[in-house]
Amino acid sequence: MKIKSHLKNLSPYPPGKTVNEIRKELNLSGKIYKMNSNENPLGPSPKVIEAIKDCLSQVHHYPEASYRELKKALAEKWNVLPEQIILGNGSNEIIEFIFKALVNPGEEIIVSNPSFLMYEKFAQIYGVNIKSIPLTENLTHNFDEILKNISEKTKVIFLDHPQNPSGSVLNREAWKTFLKKVPPFTLVVVDEAYGEFINDPSIPLGIEFLKDSYKVLILRTFSKAYGLAGLRLGYGITFLELSKILDLVRQPFNINLLAYKAGLAVLQDKEYIEKSIKLVIEGRKYLTESLTDLGFRVYPSQANFIMVDFGEKAEKIYQELLKRGILIRSLKAYGYPNALRISIGLPEENRILVENIKKLI
């Protein structure tokens, strides 16, 4: 048996640890505050819980292969055709569809550095070259450098919007200037995993670009604002020529029955979605102001997390919070040893975090 040579240096994606893993690892017995994985602190929608209960007796059947109802609901939400929606087992799976359908071994993608690691992981799996463009000093995508690095082999540009881990965004004018210069043979993927939390009207959503006839694919997920991270449900929106091809490479029944029904249920729970978004926007403001007042640099964020430069205190703060059962994300692996990423929690969780940081400094 011979393993493909380009897989020899492949390392697994480093996921955030679960509460149980941390509890066992650190021998913690008290309450755990999980502010490291950008999940919805409200828990699932009550309508999701009821929908799952109602369909548990049906799990011995395959789901409807076309997922017609969910596609229709999403199409109505974005005012597009149902055929323009591609469903995935998390938005990760749609990223893989792109590699299956569009990028040959030896061709290339462009990503920002740092950004969501799965863009590069799939490129490595499929033998695709990666051009990694550093962020600007303000930790935004460097559109000028990305444009300079496009070649005839560049098939896809992946751009997370808001950017992870900084939470940064770019305004409408910057996006449109950039998209006008991208050649027609290159697809731009606008990954809006955190798009629901953008509340600045000067910041566009990818759907605007699609409706202006730019060759883009927008990625969305049910893992963040919709509280379905554990069920793995995501989707893409794009032009018909591409959506048809991506649907062809999709495996049948790639969305399980529970995720399908949960997705339909949460889309109908407007109150839950509004509450989730309001909680993040208010918590983001509170944490930004509180940590700024303590003398730390908090980068502007439009996501459900903030990136904070704690200077030389970063590692100590991270480790001490961990001992107290407060989980946040170290950004050493992203190239920022002095920075930590903090997911927005419930108001009480945000307050406890700030109080503990005050004690530590």
pLDDT of residue 30: 79
- Counting residues of the chain whose pLDDT is more than 90, the rounded percentage is 89
Contact by Cβ (8 Å): 356, 319: no
The CA distances from residue 296 to 88, 299, 357, in Å, are 39, 10, 11
Domains 16-44+271-360 and 46-268 share a fold: no
Question: Which residue type sits at 314?
Answer: A
First to last CA, the chain: 56
pLDDT for residue 16: 67
- The pLDDT value given to residue 292: 98
Check residue 78 and give its pLDDT: 98
Q: How far apart are CA 89 and CA 225, in angstroms?
A: 17
Beta strand pairing call for 326-327 and 33-34: parallel
Question: Is the pLDDT score of 315 beyond 90?
Answer: yes
- Angstrom CA distances, 43 to 30, 225, 228, 324, stand at 20, 10, 9, 22
Beta strands in the chain (DSSP E): 33-34, 85-88, 108-113, 129-134, 154-160, 187-191, 216-221, 234-238, 297-298, 305-309, 326-327, 329-330, 339-343
For residue 184, what are the contacts with CB-CB under 8 A and spacing of at least 6?
215
Is the CB of residue 237 less than 8 Å from the CB of residue 209? no
Q: Are 329 and 16 in contact (CB under 8 A)?
A: yes
Backbone angles phi, psi at 172, to 5 degrees: -60, -45
Q: In what order do the strands lie in the sheet with 216-221?
A: 85-88, 234-238, 216-221, 187-191, 154-160, 108-113, 129-134
Closest CA to 178 of 227, 128, 133: 133
169: helix, strand or coil:
coil
Averaged pLDDT for residues 309-328: 95
What percent of the chain has pLDDT above 70? 99
What are the residue boundaries of the structural domains of the chain, listed by start?
A: 16-44+271-360, 46-268
Q: What is the mean pLDDT of residues 204-216?
A: 96
Token pair in block for residue 182: 């991208």
The pair phi, psi for residue 325, each rounded to 5°, is 80, 20
Q: What is the pLDDT of residues 74-131, one digit of tens each?
A: 999 999 999 999 999 999 999 999 999 999 999 999 999 999 989 999 999 999 999 9
CATH for 46-268, options being 3.40.50.10490, 3.40.50.150, 3.90.550.10, 3.40.640.10: 3.40.640.10
**Whole-prediction pTM:** 0.94
Q: What phi-psi label fits residue 176: left (phi over 0), alpha (psi between -120 and 50 degrees) or beta?
A: alpha
Q: How do strand 329-330 and strand 33-34 relate by DSSP bridges? A: unpaired
Nearest Cα residue to 112 out of 334, 338, 332: 334
Averaged pLDDT of the chain: 95
In angstroms, the Cα distances linking 205 to 22, 57, 191, 192, 277 are 36, 39, 10, 8, 16
CATH class of 16-44+271-360: alpha beta
